[in-house]
Structure 1
């Protein structure tokens, strides 16, 4: 088996979206919650990825075993007013980190993470943020991510 890496293109977008929905479902239900009924996440994701891939504010690297996508990553780029530790004001929002269970513990997630972090660095981001699943915390901590005790969220 030879794992290859490539950037996400329109050709893989349908499979990428299906994998993203599976990942979100796995994470959501692992906390004992039920996935809300009637949410058209597929259409919302398709619109998001089309728009942000086109304007360069979303990039994804894929891990491939032949023609099969076995791992995904994603980085969205946002901008806010500059501050002391991020004078560019540009932030990377990490998402879509997922490895097929049959391919876990092989370094694939670390390679995907490294590729999208480099994309954020090249974009000029001063930091990368993530809301990590329990499974991902070990990977992100080993990579050098730090917990931010001040992070808060307000749902609208």
Structure 2
């Protein structure tokens, strides 16, 4: 097995989107929820990734075995008013962390995480945020992420 790492390009985008949907489905099911019927994310994801890859506010690293993508990562860059612990106001939003089940526990996710965290550092981000799945908490904690007990969300029905 010879795992290679590369940045996502438009050529891999459709496969990346399929893996993102697989990740979201796995996370939904693991929490006992049923994936909502009639929700097709493919077009919305393609639109999002194309726009943000083009303007430089989304980057992804892939793990590849031969010609097969076996792991993904993603970092979106956002900006908000600067504050004491993030004087640049630039934040990285980590997403799309997924490793094919046959390749888990081999250090692939950690390598992908490291690469996108370094992208956030290069972009000038003062922090990286993630809403971690139960599966991912150990990886992120081991890397140095800490819990933010004040994180809250208000859902807007659209």
Partner of 1:32, secondary structure, is: coil
Secondary structure of the equivalent of 2:33?
coil
Deviation (angstroms), 1:52 = 0.2
Identify the residue that residue 95 of structure 1 maps to in structure 2: 95
Question: In structure 2, the residue corresponding to 1:49 is in which secondary structure?
Answer: helix
Alignment map for 1:1-156 (pairs within 5 Å)? 1-156=1-156
Q: CA-to-partner distance for each residue in 1:49-103, whole Å, 9 max, x for gaps? A: 0000000000000000011000000000000000001010000000000001111
Moved over 4 A (4+): none
Q: Deviations over 1:134-156 (max 9, x none)?
A: 11000000000000000000000
| Deviation sequence 1:35-61 (CA, Å, 0-9, x none) | 111112010000000000000000000
TM-score normalised by the chain length of structure 1: 0.99
Q: C-alpha root-mean-square deviation of aligned residues, in Å?
A: 0.5
Q: TM-score, normalised by structure 2?
A: 0.98
Superposed displacement of residue 32, structure 1: 1.2
**Cα distance in 1 for residues equivalent to 2:154 and 2:89:** 21
User: 3-state DSSP class of the match of 1:77?
Assistant: strand
Unaligned runs of 5+ in 2: none
Gaps of 5+ in 1: none
